[in-house]
Amino acid sequence: MTEVVQSVPLSNLHRMSYRYSDDHYEYRHVVLPREMAKYIPKSHLMSEEEWRQLGVQQSQGWIHYMIHEPEPHILLFRRPLPPKQ
């Protein structure tokens, strides 16, 4: 059974990285307090609804794309870059 966390703004409890990019994606990571790791699923990448329930607030389009096993409290996000004109 999955434990549900009430959605709580984490503005003072997390750190959000600057955005960085390659030729295809824009990236950022969010560092949650270590004690939040127990609420992060180990079996799958989180949907937007799941990471928002943890209190992560960012614009739409960000995808949780990787689990960094040594530091599961650090969430890794990316989104496609807009097409170049």
What does pTM read for this prediction?
Answer: 0.81
Q: What is the pLDDT along the chain (85 residues), one digit of tens a residue?
A: 344 444 444 445 678 889 999 999 999 999 999 999 999 999 999 999 999 999 999 999 999 999 999 999 999 999 999 888 7
Q: Which fold has domain 15-80?
A: Cyclin-Dependent Kinase Subunit Type 2 (3.30.170)
- What's the pLDDT tens digit per position in 62-83? 999 999 999 999 999 999 998 8
- The one-letter amino acid code at 74 reads I
Q: Is 60 left (phi over 0), alpha (psi -120 to 50) or beta?
A: beta
